[in-house]
Chain A
Amino acid sequence: MKGIEKLGREETGGISRRRFLARGAAFAFAAAVTGPGLTVLSGCGGGSGSGALKFWQFYGPGGEVEAQGKWFEDAVKGWNQGHDTKIELQYIPVTEYLNGSKLQTAFSSNEGPDLFIISPGDFLRYYNGGVLQDLTPYIEDEARNDLYPNVMATREVEGKIFGIPMEVEPMAMYYSVKAFEDAGLSEADIPETWDQLLDVAGRLKKGNTFGLLFDTNPGYYQNFTWYPFMWQGGGDAVAPSGNESAFDSKGAVQALQFWQDAIESGVAPRKALGTGANDIVANLAQGHAAIQNCGIWAVAALEANAPDFEYGTFKLPLPPGGEYTTDLGGWAFVANSKGQNPEEAGRFCAWALASMSESSIGRGVDWIAGADSTVAPRKSVQRQAEQQGAFDEGPMKFFREEAFPGGRGEPRYTPEVYKAVSDAIQAVQLDGQSAQGQADAAAEKIDTFLQTYDGARIV
């Protein structure tokens, strides 16, 4: 049987009988002294295999956009052809990757993957945990200047790069052309302010269709989609100094109020369909809402799964006196500094996404304008994709020329800051609590946390 074979091989190859017994003893010891025992155990596991470097990600064989899984395979194949240290892709189902326990369990027991991908929201957790490898030494100066500084800001600590983004994903509003027509609205009615948005949404609400959809599920994603509305009015969760919260500000309070108004006026649902408001096919395309707040990836998702659906896009509307801004999400390659071979893993990240070689740039173009639909994190990639005409028309042109400029990188708040903001959004949006009261409470929680925080700078 396969399992037995595998077991046998591992024992003869990795652990001798004596060591095995010694570990048994260590385990018994561990049981007696609990906590410290756990570190004794986890201390002996890391990097035990001498095999290929493991690369964990969530673009897999069952994925909806086939080209995305293939892009990862091609990248790894390209590296394996020219290098002695091989890399092996391992696929983790996405819900588990985003919110599950598999990564944490692996890292806690020193079995973390050598390479993996993270979003800005996760950055500090891993950085402060000491598992991110400094990638700066592997990136040439020219390539470094090629990366957009505003995109890199959330992946750097003290001038060093710890993650290389593969994409930049701005947020905007999508609307159903048919819903607009049915309500007697035209492009001239596209809202530019919050008030106009609520008004138009009210006119679009009809039968089974809500006028407007913001995310309703508590989580990192909801915070991510809400931040731009806070920023537009000058609010912030953590002040630029990094020492205190700026959450009890007008900007934050009015953004909280805005989302509450959308729910209480009845134009927005209290619950999105499918995976949530990030899922455009389940909501906008199937008529759950006529306007949806979503990111650039929705372009690719609609093309793959609702190719006949007619939609338009517009920039996030503004509060009175507000300044346009949007949130730029996106995932980045990182290397595990406690993995089997952090240096080669680091080299791979640079080789794949941040080298001036033609293949590296081509790979970037393939992702942003082929496998996925996003803006590029590098000038050269953006330039080449534009030359190929990827941003010449339609929604991609809109995102490149209108939504993206003035965008701000997704903040890398720690879990404590995230949770304080999330609780405030939820309480105001769905539980009818006072925006000012919740903002004050969240600001206080964040301030208390910042007083004792000693990790890398948050902003």
Chain B
Amino acid sequence: MSAGASETHYRRGLNRRHREWLAAALFVAPDALGLLVFLGVPMVLALGLGFFEVTGFGGIAFAGLDNYKKMFVDPLFLDSLKVTVTYVVGFVVGVFVVSLGLALLVQQKIPFVGFFRSMFFLPHVVSLVVVGLVWQFMLTDGVGVVNQVLEAVGIGGRSWLGDPQFALATVVLVSIWFFMGYYMIIFLAGLQEIPREYYDAAKIDGARSWQLFRHITWPLLKPTSFFVLLVSTITGVAGLQAFDLIYVMTKGGPANSTSLGIFYIYQQAFQFNDYGYAAAMSSFLVLLLLAATALMFVLTKGGRFETE
């Protein structure tokens, strides 16, 4: 593309630093512009609606901070925040441990490793609607496969999706199951990046596998781990997948026990036509996420871990 050509053109007139700036600008430009137009601008517009009362049929009126005030006295929103936090913590921790474990497992030279990788990734291949439906069968009250299996260990007969005590935990587990193959692949790619020589050298020194993990894998995997933590947190809070899964499996029930923030926001916007309120609530969620990620970026020096 033009990056190379323009760069040669300017090469004589610019010093190395400026050439680097220009090259960077050209490299970043297509994505930056696209993101600005197709995400940045709609984002600003959408979140700006938080200061308005919007009917969804063209009616709009300035509302100041009304939507924001309403938000903090709306018990349904506050409850949905609690549900979100529980969901995200359970999901992020669970998916991190499981997918890292799987990645370490399937990078070994064991027979049929390709088959195992595919098996773990399989859940992610099917659309969420179908995933939700299949789990609904398996979790059927009393008689589903899951209950039949659990019967054997004496804790069967529960309604995993119909009881507010268990529904959220069930949804967390299904989410982990759905995403584990996905993050496994990312970890796998991260693991492949670690030069094999490090391990070979350590092995000669007589290191055990736990020590290899502790002193080589873990530190060198940090950029990947950082990515997985951050992205899975965002997926949990604002991801379409969490929303879809809730939608198919529980519709926010029973008794709002799985009503995630994103679900409640969607309901307000598209079923109750209160865009302004939905925008105010999403702004709040975005701010929370922004604060959390900014903190992580600062702590990790922009995800570079330069001190390591």
Which residue numbers of A lie inside 8 Å of B, CB to CB? 27, 30-31, 34-39, 42-43, 99-101, 104-105, 107-108, 110, 125-126, 128-131, 207-208, 210, 216-219, 269-271, 273, 288, 338, 415-416, 419, 423, 426-427, 429-431, 433
- Bound-state Cα–Cα, A441 to B56, Å: 28
Contacts A270-B162, A430-B253 hold; do A35 and B60 have CB atoms under 8 A apart? yes
CB within 8 Å of A: which B211-254 residues: 247, 250-254
Inter-chain contacts of B51 with A (CB < 8 A): 34-35
B143 at the interface (CB under 8 A from A): yes
Q: Is A34's CB under 8 angstroms from B56's CB? A: no
CB-defined contacts of B273 to chain A, threshold 8 Å: 104, 125, 129, 415
Q: Using an 8 Å CB-CB cutoff, how does the interface string of B124-158 with A read, 1 for contact, 0 for none?
A: 00000000000011011111000000000000000
Contact A35 B140 (CB under 8 A): no
> Quick check: A130 and B162 within 8 Å, CB to CB?
no
Q: Which residues of B contact A217 (CB under 8 A)?
A: 250-251, 253
Task: Kindly list the 5 A-B residue pairs having the minimum CB-CB distance in the complex, ordered from nearest.
Answer: A270-B162, A34-B48, A129-B57, A430-B254, A271-B162
B140–A104 contact, CB under 8 A?
no
Verify B271–A99 contact, CB threshold 8 A: yes
Q: Which residues of chain A come closer than 8 Å to B257, judged between CB atoms?
A: 431
Which residues does chain B contribute within 8 Å of A415, judged by CB atoms? 271-274
Q: Is the CB of B253 within 8 A of A218?
A: yes
- A271 contact set on B, CB distance < 8 A: 136, 139-141, 159, 161-162
Tell which of B44, B254, B255, B266 touches A31, judged by Cβ atoms closer than 8 Å.
B44
Interface residues of chain B, those whose CB is within 8 Å of chain A, are: 41, 44-45, 47-49, 51-52, 54-60, 62, 76, 136-137, 139-143, 159, 161-164, 247, 250-257, 266, 269-275
A338 touches B162 (CB 8 A): no
Q: Are A269 and B254 neighbours in the complex by a CB distance under 8 Å?
A: no
Highest count of chain B CB atoms <10 Å: which of A34, A100, A107, A416: A34
Q: Given the complex, which residues of A lie within 8 Å of B252, measured CB to CB?
A: 218
B163 is contacted by which of A207, A288, A430 (Cβ under 8 Å)?
Answer: A430
Closest residue of chain A to B273 (Cβ to Cβ) is A125
For B163, the chain A residues whose CB sits under 8 A away are: 270, 430
Q: How far is the CA of A43 from the CA of B56 in the complex (A)?
A: 13
Smallest Cβ distance from B130 to chain A, in angstroms? 13
Q: A128-B55, A131-B57 are in contact. List 9 more A-B contacts (CB 8 A).
A: A35-B45, A35-B51, A35-B52, A207-B143, A216-B253, A218-B253, A429-B255, A431-B164, A431-B255
Complex: A299 Cα to B68 Cα, angstroms: 48
Beta-carbon contact of B251 and A38 below 8 Å: no
Chain B residues near A42 (CB-CB < 8 A): 58
Check if A34 sits within 8 Å of B45, measured CB to CB: yes
Q: Chain A's nearest CB lies how many Å from the CB of B56?
A: 5
Is there contact, CB below 8 Å, between B49 and A426? no
Number of A-B contacts (CB under 8 A): 131
Pick from B60, B136, B253, B266: contact of A273, CB under 8 Å: B136
Shortest C-beta distance, B110 to chain A (Å), equals 39
Which residues of B have CB within 8 Å of A273? 136-137, 140
In the complex, the answer to whether A35 meets B49 with C-beta atoms within 8 Å is yes
A99 to B266 Cα, complex, angstroms:
10
Residues on B with C-beta less than 8 A from A108 are: 54, 56-58, 275
Min CB distance B133 to A, Å, is 8
CB distance from B62 to the nearest CB of A (A): 7
**Complex contact B255–A426 (CB within 8 A):** yes
26 sampled A-B residue pairs with Cβ under 8 A: A31-B41, A31-B45, A42-B58, A101-B266, A101-B269, A104-B56, A104-B270, A104-B273, A105-B270, A108-B54, A108-B56, A108-B275, A129-B55, A130-B59, A210-B141, A210-B142, A218-B251, A218-B255, A219-B251, A270-B141, A270-B159, A270-B254, A271-B139, A423-B256, A430-B164, A433-B255
When distances are taken between beta carbons in the complex, the residues of chain A under 8 Å from B48 are 34-35
* A-side contacts of B141, CB under 8 Å: 210, 269-271
**Minimum CB distance partner of A419 in chain B:** B272
Chain A, residue nearest B253 (CB): A218
List chain B residues, Cβ under 8 A from A38: 45, 49, 60
- Name the B residues within 8 Å of A338 (CB-CB): 57-58
- Give the most central of A27, A42, A104: most B CB within 10 Å: A104
Closest to A101 in B: B270
Closest to B157 in A: A266
- Nearest neighbor of A28 in chain B, beta-carbon distance: B41
Complex interface: chain B residues within 8 A of A39 (CB): 58, 60
Q: How far is the CB of A172 from chain B (nearest CB, A)?
A: 24
Chain A nearest CB, measured from B256 CB (Å): 7
- Give CA–CA (A317, B141) in the complex, Å: 25
Of B51, B57, B273, the most chain A CB neighbours within 10 A belong to B57
Bound Cα distance from A128 to B57, whole angstroms: 9
B162 near A107: Cβ-Cβ < 8 Å? no
Per the bound structure, the CA–CA distance linking A73 and B214 in Å amounts to 67
Report the bound CA distance from A294 to B238 in whole Å.
36
Report the bound CA distance from A426 to B256 in whole Å: 8
* A residues less than 8 Å from B247 (CB atoms): 99
> Which residues from B are CB-within-8-Å of A27?
41
In the complex, how many angstroms separate the beta carbon of A383 from the nearest chain B beta carbon? Answer: 38
Chain A positions within 8 Å of B41 at CB level: 27, 31
Chain A residue with minimal CB distance to B56? A108
* A contact residues around B256 at 8 Å (CB): 218, 423, 426
Nearest neighbor of B140 in chain A, beta-carbon distance = A273
Residues on the A chain within 8 Å of B76, using CB:
419, 423
List residues of chain B with CB within 8 A of the CB of A36. 60
